[in-house]
Chain A
Amino acid sequence: PQNTDSFDFANYHTLEEIYSFQDLLVAENPNFVSKIVIGQSYEGRPLNVLKFSTGGTNRPAIWIDTGIHSREWVTQASGLWFAKKIVTDYGTDPTLTAILSQLDIFLEIATNPDGYAFTHSSNRMWRKTRKPNPGSSCVGVDPNRNWDAGFGEPGASSSPCSETYRGPSANSESEVKSIVDFVKSHANIKAFISIHSYSQMLMYPYGYKTTPTNDAAELHKVAQKAVSDLTSLYGTKYTYGSIIDTIYQASGGSIDWTYNQGIKYSYTFELRDTGQYGFLLPATQIIPTAQETWLALMTIMDHTLKNPY
């Protein structure tokens, strides 16, 4: 496509197409959208983050990432749609315009680019990173068990051949370390939202322990509103709660780390599940999934704007 208006959001795309889309969006909106390369993947691919900003310096910010598990294709596809939605709605949607008048939004669409490329070239079912594990023929680490929050505790595997292999140490994966470094250096991120698929859940910390966070009541209330707004569009039913109560014990997860860093509004989504396709959600479902998720994202972002801390 020559411009992002003609980009086909209703289909899945290769990593190269995602990178091209990002560059086009930046070129079309030079005073609003910029691309930051926060690091490199193990195989040397850029870790691109789109920054949506209406000005200011180091404003408080909202982080959104999609595709840390590479086979969850509807997440990267939704990320593309979110990027375009932010550009089209800014200036027309009063809520989003108000958010962007005070906050920046950072969006990492291909959070695990090596894994994503591998799902296109070699193994559609690949979930992890692509770094070899010394002493093992099994490749890759689960990048959502590699964060420094309960790392190594129950809820992740120590076996390199497992789909939930935590890695040799916290932040061993450059895809994780790059975000950690970015979040620390920015030091003003107020909401961190990590998007997965599939099982229709909205969750908040913790995943590695049963102890509720100090903000559990507020996080629960916001999740309830976000899910209600999401459901209002197509009737998609979500469950919500802390990770450990809603899904299972999972250690080394992204939002547990961000919460412990002081980012109160830390949430993770599991997107739509038709009950028939799992990770192979048909492309016809991309736009409805993104649309309904956007409503929940807006709820969280609006709450972040109205409840500064």
Chain B
Amino acid sequence: KVTFEGHKVLRIVPKDEVQLSLIKDLEEMMEFELDFWRGLTTVSNPVDVRVPSHVLNSVKDYLETQNIEYSTMIEDLQILLDMEQKVMAGARVPQ
């Protein structure tokens, strides 16, 4: 089973057309490393991207260098996945 330890989901909100274009560049540069959960639309609309741990520093550096603001939507994806499994397993017992 594929696991996602250390994968973060970042929420990036482009504040202008320049940032929109820079995020598009990031998407193209790292298409197969990053998993865009919520794609690039327009200025002010959030972009959610799953970032594997091995490229996390590069992505953060890129965003910070370009002054693009982001927040961490999911700190560690695997923790949420483990919780989801636990809830599912727990629900199955009484049935």
Contact, CB under 8 Å: B38 / A280: no
For the complex, what is the distance from the CA of A248 to the CA of B20, rounded to whole Å?
A: 13
Contact, CB under 8 Å: B81 / A121: no
Distance from B49 Cβ to chain A, minimum over Cβ atoms (Å): 10
Q: Choose among A6, A123, A279, A282 the residue with the greatest number of B CB atoms under 10 Å from its CB.
A: A279
SS class, residues of chain A in contact with chain B: loop
Contact, CB under 8 Å: B2 / A11: no
Q: Which residue of B lies closest to A283 (CB)?
A: B87
Interface check A97, CB cutoff 8 A: no
Distance from B2 Cβ to chain A, minimum over Cβ atoms (Å): 4
Residues of A within 8 A of B (CB-CB), count: 30
For the complex, what is the distance from the CA of A161 to the CA of B11, rounded to whole Å?
A: 23
Contact, CB under 8 Å: A125 / B4: yes
Task: Contacts A122-B2, A125-B50 given; indicate if A283 touches B91 (C-beta within 8 A).
Answer: yes
Interface check B74, CB cutoff 8 A: yes
Contact, CB under 8 Å: A278 / B1: no
Contact, CB under 8 Å: B37 / A161: no
SS class, residues of chain B in contact with chain A: mixed
List residues of chain A with CB within 8 A of the CB of B73. Answer: 275-276, 278
Q: Which residue of B lies closest to A273 (CB)?
A: B38
For the complex, what is the distance from the CA of A276 to the CA of B38, rounded to whole Å?
A: 12
A199-238 to B contact mask, C-beta < 8 Å, 1/0: 1000000000000000000000000000000000000000
Q: Which of B28-70 contact A (CB under 8 A)?
A: 31-32, 35-41, 48, 50
List residues of chain B with CB within 8 A of the CB of A122. Answer: 1-2
List residues of chain A with CB within 8 A of the CB of B80. Answer: 277, 280
For the complex, what is the distance from the CA of A275 to the CA of B72, rounded to whole Å?
A: 11
List residues of chain A with CB within 8 A of the CB of B11. Answer: 275
For the complex, what is the distance from the CA of A223 to the CA of B24, rounded to whole Å?
A: 29
For the complex, what is the distance from the CA of A6 to the CA of B95, rounded to whole Å?
A: 9
Q: Choose among A8, A161, A162 the residue with the greatest number of B CB atoms under 10 Å from its CB.
A: A8
For the complex, what is the distance from the CA of A168 to the CA of B65, rounded to whole Å?
A: 38
For the complex, what is the distance from the CA of A139 to the CA of B91, rounded to whole Å?
A: 32
Interface check B12, CB cutoff 8 A: no
Interface check B9, CB cutoff 8 A: yes
A178-213 to B contact mask, C-beta < 8 Å, 1/0: 000000000000000000001100000000000000
Contact, CB under 8 Å: A123 / B36: no
List residues of chain B with CB within 8 A of the CB of A27. Answer: none
A121 is contacted by which of B1, B9, B50 (Cβ under 8 Å)?
A: B1
Contact, CB under 8 Å: A278 / B38: yes
B48 is contacted by which of A6, A121, A278 (Cβ under 8 Å)?
A: A278
Beyond A125-B50, A276-B73, 20 extra complex contacts between A and B, CB < 8 Å: A1-B95, A6-B95, A11-B87, A122-B1, A122-B2, A159-B31, A162-B32, A163-B35, A198-B37, A246-B41, A247-B41, A275-B73, A276-B74, A277-B74, A278-B73, A279-B37, A280-B74, A280-B80, A283-B88, A283-B91
Q: Which residues of B contact A (CB under 8 A)?
A: 1-2, 4, 9, 11, 31-32, 35-41, 48, 50, 73-74, 77, 80-81, 84, 87-88, 91, 95
Q: List 5 A-B contacts (CB under 8 A).
A: A122-B1, A125-B4, A125-B35, A275-B11, A282-B84
